[in-house]
Amino acid sequence: MVRIPVPSPQTPDPSVAPRTFSAIDINLACPVRKISAKARGGHWLREPEGAIDILRAVRAAVPESIPVTVKLRRGSDDSPQAERNFYRIFDALFDLGCAWTTVHGRTVEQKYVGPSRWTFLRDLVRARPGRLVFGSGDVWEVRDIFRMLAYTGVQAVSVARGCIGNPWIFRQARAMMDGAPPAPPTLDEQRAVLREHFDLSVAVNGEGGASLMMRKFGVRFAAHHPRAEEVRRRFIAVESIDGWRRVLDEEYAPAVPEPALLT
């Protein structure tokens, strides 16, 4: 067991510690081997007392006005002990003053294989009424957000892989909340987002890195295109920045001509 020293609460001096964040989310869920093997992320679901020490230390160190939240999976594995560990951490995080938890309905052992267990989320909400729980797992399109809310009773839903290549899922959710149908993105909107995404990727990864990196995003974005399969194939075949530009220029040509793409 790893014991974490608990610092005493401090009131930061705004002149030396400018506030640069609005919340702190502690990840006790990451299943990636190189993370959990270093006693990070999902590792802590196997060591609830150590996890609670971390939560206590962070909550004490962060100004009270800033919410501390926690990301969990439903357990380290499918054992009854893992479930007990989950509930031990769940109850403690609220006792310590954390604001809410996002619970992914897969185990750490499961990684991303197999379904997220929404029944676990439903039972959790029933067992702990009044606790603020966000649900996570298997939210692939906008209607899944409302399915999860209705089925599990969680107060909020966290969108993950469902927004890769589909940032419009959030405005679609807003529309559905207002009783309107979820509008698909126009080709102009798709082009604008692809272009912005590419420019940001170039800034981070350089041109060579971006054209490779954007292949996998292009494949996901292609699903919205009227000729989805053909555009998907073209994104997969992209090997250079010029290849990327060609797909964008030819498949996402603006209805009204605009200045040169990807300057």
Please identify every residue annotated as catalytic: 30
Q: Quick one: 85 or 166, whose CB is closer to ligand FMN?
A: 166
DSSP string, 54-115: HHHHHHHHS-TTS-EEEEEEEESSSSHHHHHHHHHHHHHHHHTT---EEEEEEETTTTT-S-
Degrees to nearest 5, angle at CA 65 with 59 and 66: 55
**Residue 254 CB, nearest approach to ligand FMN (Å):** 31
- Write out the residues near ligand FMN by the rule CB under 6 A: 27, 29, 71, 104, 116, 136-139, 158, 160-162
Residue 20 CA to residue 115 CA, distance in Å, equals: 36
Residue 198 CA to residue 237 CA, distance in Å, equals: 16
- Contact between 167 and 194 under an 8 Å Cβ cutoff? The reply is no
**Residue 104 CB, nearest approach to ligand FMN (Å):** 4
Per the listing, tokens 């909107």 go with 189
- Contact between 190 and 225 under an 8 Å Cβ cutoff? The reply is yes
Quote the DSSP letter at residue 51.
H
**Residue 158 CB, nearest approach to ligand FMN (Å):** 6
**Residue 102 CB, nearest approach to ligand FMN (Å):** 7
- Judged on CB neighbours under 10 Å (0-12, 13-18, 19+), 27 is middle
Q: Quick one: 41 or 48, whose CB is closer to ligand FMN?
A: 41
Q: Quick one: 52 or 145, whose CB is closer to ligand FMN?
A: 145
Q: Quick one: 133 or 247, whose CB is closer to ligand FMN?
A: 133
